[in-house]
Structure 1
Amino acid sequence: MNLRTRTLATLAAAYFVLAGGNVQAKDPYDASQREALGAVDALFAAMARHDVDASRQLILPGASFVVVLPDGTVKIEPDTGYLETLGKHKEAFRERIWDAQVTVQGNLAQVWAPYDFHLDGKLSHCGVDSFSLVRSADGWRVAGVSYTVQKAGCAPSPLDSEG
Structure 2
Amino acid sequence: MLGVAAFSALAGGNAQAKDAYSALQREALGAVDAFFAAMAKHDVDASRRLILPGASFVVVLPDGRVKVEPDSGYRDMLGKHKEAFRERIWDAQVTVQGNLAQVWAPYDFHLDGKLSHCGIDSFSLVRGTDGWRIAGVSYTVQKTGCAPSPLGELK
Q: Is the structural similarity TM-score above 0.5?
A: yes
Unaligned runs of 5+ in 2: none
* Aligned amino acid, residue 141 of structure 1: R
- The answer to whether structure 1 residue 23 and structure 2 residue 10 are counterparts is yes
The residue that corresponds to 1:70 in the other structure is 62
Give the secondary-structure state (helix, strand or coil) at the position aligned to 1:63. strand
Q: After TM superposition, give the deviation of residue 135 of structure 1 in Å.
A: 0.2
Q: After TM superposition, give the deviation of residue 20 of structure 1 in Å.
A: 3.9
The residue that corresponds to 1:159 in the other structure is 151
8 A contact 2:35–2:47 mirrored in 1: yes
Tell me how many residue pairs correspond in the alignment. 149
Deviations 1:72-106 (A, max 9, x none): 00000000000000000000000000000000000
Distance in 2 (alpha carbons) for counterparts of 1:41 and 1:154: 22
The residue that corresponds to 1:147 in the other structure is 139
Q: After TM superposition, give the deviation of residue 23 of structure 1 in Å.
A: 3.1
Distance in 2 (alpha carbons) for counterparts of 1:20 and 1:74: 29
Matches within 5 A, 1:11-160: 12-13=1-2, 16-17=3-4, 19-21=5-7, 22-24=9-11, 25-26=15-16, 27=18, 28-160=20-152
Deviations 1:9-54 (A, max 9, x none): xxx34xx13x444333221211000100000010000000000000
Distance in 2 (alpha carbons) for counterparts of 1:84 and 1:133: 21
Displaced runs of 4 or more, over 6 A: none
Distance in 2 (alpha carbons) for counterparts of 1:111 and 1:90: 27
8 A contact 2:6–2:33 mirrored in 1: no
Identity of aligned residues (%): 80
Unaligned runs of 5+ in 1: 1-11
8 A contact 2:106–2:118 mirrored in 1: yes
Distance in 2 (alpha carbons) for counterparts of 1:20 and 1:109: 19
Give the secondary-structure state (helix, strand or coil) at the position aligned to 1:157. coil
Deviations 1:125-152 (A, max 9, x none): 0000000000000000000000000000
